[in-house]
């Protein structure tokens, strides 16, 4: 799926949470990373396009790596907590099971209490090199020494 097709179907606001895999792969390559474990939107909504991936850390289990390089890796870190319709959830799968897949498309309206972050660590000593909560803020690997 092309970016303009994604925006037409899902809306530009959802790019903070999902994007076409081809765009993600190009971004990762530009930033100096190889992609690792990815979660596809189709895993949560069987009617979603096949090539849309989740790029928000809240979709991933703590410790799961989405990017790797010889000297560093990007992984989900911390916990998640959010509210939908006055109910508190700590993972997106449970929220979808309770509320239905349609909630995935108004995710920017959820009441986020605690958000997971992406953390870049060194493969040598696991030292923290960078932290960011939005994929669009992912640093270039070489700028952080990774």
Q: Which of 130, 137, 118, 125 is nearest to 59 (CA)?
A: 118
Flag whether 141 is in a domain: no
Q: What is the pLDDT of residues 103-131, one digit of tens each?
A: 999 999 999 999 999 999 999 999 999 99
Flag whether 142 is in a domain: no
Flag whether 145 is in a domain: no
Distances (CA, A) of 80 to 13, 61, 97, 132: 20, 10, 16, 15
Output the average pLDDT for the chain.
Answer: 94
By CB atoms closer than 10 A (0-12, 13-18, 19+), residue 46 is: exposed
Flag whether 16 is in a domain: yes
- Number of compact structural domains in the chain: 1
Flag whether 104 is in a domain: yes
Q: Which of 145, 121, 120 is nearest to 133 (CA)?
A: 120
Q: What is the pLDDT of residues 64-110, one digit of tens each?
A: 999 999 999 999 999 999 999 999 999 999 999 999 999 999 999 99
In whole angstroms, give the CA distance from residue 127 to residue 39: 26
Give the N- to C-terminal CA distance of the chain in Å, as an integer: 30
By CB atoms closer than 10 A (0-12, 13-18, 19+), residue 70 is: exposed
Q: What is the mean pLDDT of residues 33-49?
A: 95
In whole angstroms, give the CA distance from residue 37 to residue 55: 11
46 lies in which domain range?
3-134
Flag whether 116 is in a domain: yes
Q: What is the pLDDT of residues 2-19, one digit of tens each?
A: 888 999 999 999 999 999
* pTM of the model as a whole: 0.91
Flag whether 49 is in a domain: yes
Flag whether 10 is in a domain: yes
């Amino acid at each position: 799926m092309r970016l303009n097709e994604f925006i037409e179907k899902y809306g530009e606001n959802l790019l903070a949470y999902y994007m076409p895999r081809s765009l993600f792969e190009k971004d990762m390559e530009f930033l100096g990373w190889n992609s690792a474990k990815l979660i596809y939107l189709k895993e949560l909504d069987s009617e979603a396009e096949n090539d849309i991936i989740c790029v928000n850390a809240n979709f991933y289990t703590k410790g799961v790596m989405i990017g790797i390089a010889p000297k560093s890796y990007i992984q989900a870190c911390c916990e998640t907590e959010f509210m939908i319709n006055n109910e508190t959830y700590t993972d997106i799968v449970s929220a979808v099971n309770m509320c239905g897949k349609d909630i995935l498309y108004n995710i920017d309206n959820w009441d986020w209490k605690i958000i997971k972050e992406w953390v870049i660590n060194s493969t040598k000593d696991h030292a923290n090199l960078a932290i960011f909560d939005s994929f669009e803020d992912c640093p270039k690997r070489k700028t952080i020494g990774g």
